Every structure is written in C-alpha cells, then in structure tokens.
Amino acid sequence: MFEASVPANRSTTGWHRLLTEPARPRRIAQRPGAHWYAVAAVCIGAFMGQLDASIVTLAFPTMERDLHATVGAVQWVGLAYLLTLVATLTAVGRYADMAGRKLLYTYGFVVFIVGSALCGFAPDLPMLIGFRVLQAVGAAMLQANSVAIITAAVPADQLGRGIGIQGAAQALGLALGPAIGGVLISLGGWQLIFLVNVPVGIVATGLAWVLIPRSRHLSERATFDWLGLGLFAPVGVALMLALSLGGQVGWASPFELAMIVAVVVFTLAFLRREKRAAAPMVDLALLRIRAFWLGLVSGWLIYLVIFGVLFVVPYLLELGLHRSAAQAGVELLAMPLAIGISAPLAGRLADRTGARPLLLVGMALSTAGLVAMAFAHDSLPVLVVELLATGAGLGLSTAPNNAATMGAIPRTSSGVGSGLLNMARGLGTALGLALTGLVFTAFAGAHPHHAGPVLVGFHWAALLLAAASAAVVVLTLLRENGRLSDDPTAGVE
C-alpha cells in the first residue's frame, strides 16, 4: 500500500497523476533507515552523470573518424552538454522548489534516457550535438535536485554522511568513465556509450519513483521567471565559451572580448531583473548568506583543482615519464579513488565536528600534496602517493562543504541552492581545464614533445592548483563552524 500521495485540493485523475509526486510504499517509508534508500537512488544519477561527462571524451577520436568531422567540431559533443548544464541548472532547481524535487528528478531520468537513445542512433554530427543538448537537459534535472533531495530526506545529524556518499558516487563515476568507455567503444563503437544509459536509466527511474520521498517544504507556486532565465542563460553560456575556447581562439581575441562583455552586460541585467521580480528565479537574499556564498566559491575552487589535476597529470605521465595511455589511465585513478574513499568518511565526521575542521585539514592536505607534486614529480611511486594525498584532501573537503552550504539556506530554496552549487562545480570544471591548460602551454609550449618542457609546464601548473587549494583554506577561516542544520526533522517523511 502507498501512503496518500496527493493533497486534498489537487486532482488525482488523468494526467494530473503524472504531475503529482507519489509517496513511497509504507513498508519502505516506515523502515528505520528509509532515507538511505533515497540516497542510494540519488547516487545512481550522480554516478551516471559523472560517468557520462568523462566517458565521452574518450570517444572523440572514434567520432572524428566515423562522422568525418574535425577535432574542433567533435569537441562540441562535449561542449554542448556542458553549456546546456550551466545554463539550465539553476532554473531547474527553482522550478523544482515549486513543483516537487522528486518529480523533476524522476522525469529527468526519462529525458536523459530519451536523449541517450537518440544520441546512440544519431546519423551525423549536427544531430548528435542536438541530441546531446536534450540529454543535458535531463542531466540538469538530475543534478539540480540530487543534493536537495538528500538534504530533505536525510535527518540533519546524518546529512554530511549522505552527501559524502553521493560525492563518492560522483568520484567513482568520474574515475571509471575512461575505463568503461574504452571497453564499450571496443565492443560496439561510440554509439554504445550512449545506449548503455537506456537500460540503466529505466531501472533507476523505477527506483527513484519508489524509494525517494515526496517533497516537503516547497515554495509557493508562482509564475516562473522566464525573463530571468533568458537573461541568466547567456551569462553561463558566454562564460563557458570564453573559458573553453580561449586557448584555441586566443585569450585577447575579439571573440574572448565579446564573451567577457556579454557576461558583464547580461549579469547586470539579470541582477536588475531579480531585484524587481515578484517571484525571481534566484532569490538574491541567498547570496547574502555568508556561509552559502563562501560555500559556492569554495566548491568552485575545489572542482577547479580536481579537474586541473585530471587535465595536466596525463601530460606528465605520458610525455614526461613516458608511460603508455593505458598505464597513465590506471595511475591517474589514484586521485579519484582517494576522493571516493575519503568523501563518505568526511561526511560522517562532519555530522559530529561540523564542516570547518574537515575543510581546513582536507584543503591543507590537498595544498601540501600539490606543492610536493610541483617539486617532486619525476618518480612514479612518489607521484602516486602525492595523487593519493591530494585526492584524500579533496574528498575530506567536498562533502562537508556541500553539506554546510546547503544547510545554510532554507529548505524551501534547496532546489535553487543545489542548482547554484552544481553550476559552481561546472564553472570550476571549465576554469580548471582552461587555466591549467593556459599555464601549462605557456611554459611547455602548445605541442610539447620533450620531457624537459613538459616537466617545467607541469611544475607551474601544479603551483597554480596549489594556490587555488590554499585559497579554500583562507575562505574556510572566514566561516563559522556550526551544526549542518538547526532542524533535525525537517523534510523527513
């Protein structure tokens, strides 16, 4: 039997049933650890999202050959996905705060499945890129609600652990993407990396519908701020284009200047709109909450470091230490696997100690690992230890930062908060790739072939990432250390 799933003032007939969140079955909702079922369902989406982000890059050479396209054209398969995510995450989070986070999350799987199937059968590159946009909309519906669902479903004294488990699922998806991608491409071509999402997504949709509790503490229904979205989306798109393409077109090129102008103009217009809107897409009052905006900036820097390391270390391994691509892939696993192991532990500890001590220890460890990497990277065993230390530090920091950031805002705004947090992650990813690539090529050259220039470029890139990691330590010193929430029962069904 299911609990009553619809408020009395809502219709339960026809298509309204599809737009109303059902409760979980009583036998699941009444179990003492029912909230962990919800975390497990969310972790499937977290794993798939990161897996899909990392798996597709391995297929670029195959797509280039099969679709008779240039390298620059094929890169839009990845870029279109990232641009759509950044442009829509916050808007999806805002709508979920009004319509229901479980509803948007579950239908996000449906959109993701349809987009994945269409990508797998795409006959040419333009259609593949278009279907990737659809797939990214589904991914945004998943990502914008994942942390918000955990925040609502898990009691506050276990919130850090729940978000830590979700962070571990993301890290494992990121780590296993290249390995799984290689197997799938060898078995069935690049199409299989998309088609594999279909059966997994169907199972995940059913689990989400049954295991995730219906939303509580929703915002009042209001007209969606379409003008706000129209002004906000170009900000994210222009910023992502500037960061992603700056190295190709030149950082001082007219294109880059145009993107910077677009970011400034649309940002000012968006802020002006949100101040005057009766029901803004983003409540600017959230950005005046100290713990929240410090958490957003910290999350942005943490992901800058993660993806900066993932970008530059393969160059060191393959060109500096003369490892094969397969060997480099296995050795690079050290950092994401360390994140996957330490993140759940950090989440559990954060429930007892608060986020601040773990952030200080974690980012100090990450900074030390990166500084050591900058000066001692010519020995493979030493480099693996440095990667493990850096990954452990980042894992100790990610979950507590996310939990404290989400715990600093009202639960009625958790969808918007989760969307902003994930958008910060996306921008951190892009900036990590762009800045690390810029510094590395400045010292190693655009096409390094010798170990000497590669080692010099890696040295300065690692110091850049160490500085970003140290900046999180400074930001953490500005934060207060409190409980993750002052309402342990809020949102628990």
Predicted TM-score (pTM) above 0.85: no
Predicted pLDDT of residue 487: 43
- Name the CATH topology of 23-219: Growth Hormone; Chain: A; (1.20.1250)
Predicted pLDDT of residue 482: 55
- 381-425 pLDDT, tens digit per residue, is 899 999 999 999 999 998 889 888 888 888 777 777 877 887 788
Domain 286-486 CATH class label: mainly alpha
Predicted pLDDT of residue 268: 94
Predicted pLDDT of residue 375: 93
CA distance 387 to 366: 9
Residues of the chain with pLDDT under 70: 1-18, 57-58, 71-72, 175, 178, 217, 219, 222, 247, 325-326, 329, 446, 481-493
Predicted pLDDT of residue 281: 77
- 230-279 pLDDT, tens digit per residue, is 888 888 788 878 877 776 788 789 999 999 999 999 999 988 998 888 77
